[in-house]
Chain A
Amino acid sequence: MLDAKIPSGPLDDKWTEYKGHCKLVNPANKRKLEVIIVGTGLAGASAAAALGELGYKVKAFCFQDSPRRAHSIAAQGGINAAKNYQNDGDSVFRLFYDTIKGGDYRAREANVHRLAEVSANIIDQCVAQGVPFAREYGGLLSNRSFGGTQVQRTFYAAGQTGQQLLIGAYQALERQIALGNVKMYARHEMLEIVKIDGKARGIIARNLVNGELERHFGHAVLLCTGGYGNVFYLSTNAMGSNTTAIWKAHRQGAAFANPCFTQIHPTCIPVSGDHQSKLTLMSESLRNDGRIWVPKKKDDQRKAIDIPEEERDYYLERRYPAFGNLVPRDVASRAAKERCDEGYGVGTSKQAVYLDFADAIVRYGKIEAGKEGNDHMSMEDIIVLGKEVVKEKYGNLFDMYEKITGENPYELPMRIYPAVHYTMGGLWVNYELQTSIPGLYALGEANFSDHGANRLGASALMQGLADGYFVVPYTLGNSLADEIYNKAIETSHPAFEAAEKEVSDRINVLMNIKGKQTVESFHKRLGKIMWDKCGMARNKEGLQQAIQEIQALKKEFWSDVRIPGSINEMNPELDKANRVADFIELGELMCHDALNRNESCGGHFREEFQTEEGEALRDDANYMYVAAWESKSAHEWNLVKEPLIYDVVKPSQRSYK
């Protein structure tokens, strides 16, 4: 039984009540309490800065060479906040409602409402830190709209919002490092959680420069290590993004919630060949102006510009006349897959659809011509003017596309295809963001809590910073207040010794396999199994096969992987092997979870459960719960169900037609 510890009382008052009654730690005691934070993205850096400011003794860890590199930096579009600066009817309730609905009614009301409540504070805090958000000529903050909402509540800094927010949090963190409140361990990877008397009391980390294992004590441990999309090998995640920290926690007893909930983003640059190492997102904002189409004829060999208008199938506009190209991410992704699977895909791989700006260029060009009072401008000149407008709006994205593909998207339509982007699942946490291991917390993408089965655009940045700046500083104190009598535990304690030995034995085993196949080749094979059978569309038979294949892959990995070099030195192949070993185990759990959930919801689409029109068919009577999995043995898990209770919102079938 998992207790979500949701405060009683009306939804609007829960967080206020909680803050008014949670336990506090006095400043003199905070100095004696040590907190470990793993990961320095938006959640980790903001938590480290905020807890350092409060006076806790913080140790922060990241595997990159600097905390500023964490993958939050790559977020493009923006961050939502219920400021209602545009006077367009936004409110805390609407942000809460949109997020719950966007998540297809698989998230907790209380957590999401709190997220909406603190969203406004995040913007204020970031502005105060010097985050250079986009502004209007009057000097006030600018907003834009984003998918799945009817108001303009997204704050942004060109196409680099994640970068600017992370730099803000990084600077706040560096300030705490300078003040001596936070000690930073870059180029370190957490490889085990240390538990003493059932509580998380520290970690074992590998110094990636010299290969040494280190023991670190903490009265509490916060995992802010992001998502696990790289289980698919190809994703929009950074190369180093991994599941190891949360997977070790899971194996130590932390429940893993909704592992199969994966977001496949519809507008990414397609795979160009077997050499592909990662995929690059083209911001969702492009769908405001681009029209998505494929040829009406199967296997059409003509160039896009040679295909006349009447032989093009604008399939999103055809299937979803009300929302057209602006349907939510999960719907747009599935529709693209459907067309390509049917043989209408374009490009050399046939696994792509067109995102075409030709109409937008003409439309904007005519508006510009109209502004100049010239109603008889030639089409050529109109197109020149229109391209200027499109360049101003999306120039950096068009440049990025051209660098990667070598094609000019002002002249030819972009080719796009869906790609793994975000994982809504993660460690199960209660209202306080504490996992099922006391003293162990999970923040940001690493937890499961706020996005249900599908995340709306511009919500990930909001959640990472909400958890770090405004939630955990309160909820952590509530349990650390009981720790003031407990002195720091020496790392010579037998539990540390045992944990370190476990890590070192595991590394030794890996290094001594001395097989024939590279780590990368295993990772690619895992990715293919996951993408084919646990990707955008899943079915019972495929998932059962995938479990068999992954178990076989695991055996092969542990008997034939080749890791060059030695243990006590910098060894990126060994680091990768540690991560891939965990991805393989996680992949199996994801398939079990997808198999268990006999319904389609959000990003989880089971082919057996769809409407006649091919839309996701939810089963609220049987599956309105969080699936929290407890590790039993290598290939066995216990399913614990946390029922989702909707006191305020009435779940309904999402329709975009």
Chain B
Amino acid sequence: MEHYNMNLTVKVWRQKNSKEKGGFESYPVKDISSEMSFLEMIDVLNEQLIRDGDDPIAFDHDCREGICGQCSMYINGKPHGAWKANTTCQLHMRAFKDGETVTVEPWRAGAFPVIKDLMVDRSAFDRIIQAGGYISVNTGNAVDGNALPINKDKADASFAAAMCIGCGACVAACKNSSAMLFLSAKVAHLALLPQGEPERKSRVLNMVAQMDKEGFGACTNTGACEATCPKEISISNIARLNQEYLVASLTADK
């Protein structure tokens, strides 16, 4: 792979805190290597800002290997940037050309208020899980792990849904700011397993109620969530969610 260096203009959303109004600022960055990750480019910019006596850009990030789900931000209008099935931290600078202007913004959704600059509050996701995204089994209650065989296809489908990293890109990509892909991934993960059966109906009803309470929008099947998801969570999970919800609404004990 040939490496090259580039100079860029980074146009980034600056907002002091949740109460003050934010706006875009542009910064030049020089000698960025095509081998850097996108966040390493932001690191370089921040070091430069600190040396110049400015406030560095606040952004969420932690594992930098695409699994913790903490990094966010739109890059040139796309959640996690242009690469398919990718998180911001795994986007590398060879995706950009010398002289480009790169626009960076925080997730835009009513249920994800901005904390500072590119950081948003995604605790709504935790509260949706609290509403029922678990199997109620206290420690020490379990039977032998092989006591209950699980059809491999179902186990694999459950795993595919459980790969969700809770980053919120699905919400950010959706014109309605819907959290249906996130929610459906959890409902599918647990509904596909026999262990999830006893709470199957109450789980979906309670989680959907909490999602509505948090102010996420409705799903209108545009598919933007699936196209953006760094873990390629399938939109078929939303179909499953709708089915689960309908059955639960009609048959659950009230």
Contacts and interface: CB of A to CB of B under 8 A. Distances in A.
Contact of A83 (B50, B67, B145): B145
A572 B143 CA distance: 45
A63 to B, nearest CB: 9
Given A73-B63, A73-B68, A564-B54, A138 B149 contact: yes
A121 B139 CA distance: 9
Given A139-B150, A171-B135, A276-B40, A400 B162 contact: no
A124 B142 contact: yes
Nearest to B85: A399
Interface stretch (B187-195, B215-223, B237-245, B246-254): B187-195
A510 to B, nearest CB: 14
Interface string A9-38: 000000000000000000000000000000
A239 B89 CA distance: 11
Contacts of B156: 132, 135
Contacts of B68: 64, 69-71, 73-74, 238
B149 A130 contact: no
A130 B190 contact: yes
Interface in B115-159: 115-116, 119, 121-123, 125-126, 129-131, 133-146, 148-152, 155-156, 158-159
Nearest to B159: A132
Contact of B142 (A70, A125, A135): A125
Contact of B36 (A70, A121, A132, A275): A275
A277 B40 contact: yes
A133 B134 CA distance: 16
B69 A68 contact: yes
Interface string B81-123: 0010010001010100000000000000000000110010111
B50 A239 contact: no
22 contacts: A50-B139, A64-B68, A71-B62, A124-B144, A125-B137, A130-B189, A132-B159, A133-B155, A164-B162, A171-B129, A186-B126, A239-B63, A240-B62, A277-B40, A277-B64, A280-B65, A281-B65, A404-B92, A405-B1, A406-B92, A518-B47, A570-B58
A399 to B, nearest CB: 8
A73 B64 CA distance: 12
Contact of A160 (B67, B70, B126): B67
Contact of A403 (B92, B143, B152): B92
A222 to B, nearest CB: 15
B21 interface: no
Contacts of B58: 570, 572
A304 interface: no
Given A136-B152, A138-B149, A174-B129, A277 B43 contact: yes
A648 interface: no
A125 B139 contact: yes
A128 B195 contact: yes
Interface string B25-67: 0000000011111011001100101110111101011111111
B153 to A, nearest CB: 9
Contacts of A178: 130-131
Contacts of B6: none
B47 A175 contact: no
Given A139-B150, A275-B43, A73 B67 contact: yes
A175 B190 CA distance: 14
A66 interface: yes
B206 to A, nearest CB: 9
A141 B145 contact: yes
Contacts of A140: 146, 149
Given A124-B143, A128-B137, A135-B155, A74 B67 contact: yes
Contact of B134 (A69, A174, A273, A569): A174
Given A170-B129, A572-B58, 11 more contacts: A124-B144, A128-B137, A132-B155, A163-B67, A163-B163, A178-B131, A239-B64, A403-B90, A405-B1, A570-B119, A573-B50
Nearest to B133: A171
**Chain A interface extent, by class:** 35 or more
B70 A209 contact: no
A278 B142 contact: no
Interface string A213-230: 000000000000000000
B145 A238 contact: no
B17 A127 contact: no
B42 to A, nearest CB: 10
A28 B227 CA distance: 52
A407 B1 contact: yes
A145 to B, nearest CB: 18
Interface of A: 46, 49-50, 53, 64-71, 73-74, 83, 85, 121, 123-130, 132-141, 157-158, 160, 163-164, 167, 170-172, 174-175, 177-178, 184, 186, 209, 236, 238-240, 272-273, 275-278, 280-281, 400, 403-407, 469-470, 473, 518, 520-521, 562, 564-565, 569-570, 572-573
Contacts of A68: 69, 126, 166
B143 A71 contact: no
B121 A65 contact: yes
Given A186-B123, A277-B39, A135 B150 contact: yes
A406 B61 contact: no
A66 B122 contact: yes
B139 A473 contact: yes
Contact of A573 (B17, B56, B126): B56
A66 B195 CA distance: 25
Given A127-B195, A132-B158, A171-B135, A177 B130 contact: yes
The 7 closest A-B pairs by CB, nearest first: A139-B149, A171-B134, A128-B142, A132-B159, A406-B1, A124-B142, A178-B130
Contacts of B193: 130, 132
A405 B33 CA distance: 12
Contacts of A277: 37, 39-40, 43, 64
A137 B155 CA distance: 10
Nearest to A171: B134
B125 to A, nearest CB: 7
B43 A518 contact: no
Contacts of A67: 126
A172 B64 contact: no
A137 B152 contact: yes
Nearest to B60: A65
Contact of A66 (B125, B135, B155, B162): B125
Contact of B61 (A46, A53, A239): A239
Contacts of B33: 272-273, 275
B94 to A, nearest CB: 6
A163 B115 CA distance: 26
B70 A64 contact: yes
A272 B35 contact: yes
Contacts of B60: 65
Nearest to A173: B134
Contacts of A278: 64-65
B133 A174 contact: yes
A458 to B, nearest CB: 16
B222 to A, nearest CB: 27
Contacts of B139: 46, 49-50, 53, 125, 172, 469-470, 473
Interface string B157-181: 0110011011000000000000000
A134 to B, nearest CB: 8
A599 B39 CA distance: 41
Contacts of A74: 63, 65, 67-68
B159 A164 contact: yes
Given A73-B68, A277-B40, A473-B139, A129 B134 contact: yes
Most buried by A among B53, B146, B193: B146
Contacts of B126: 66-68, 174, 177, 184, 186
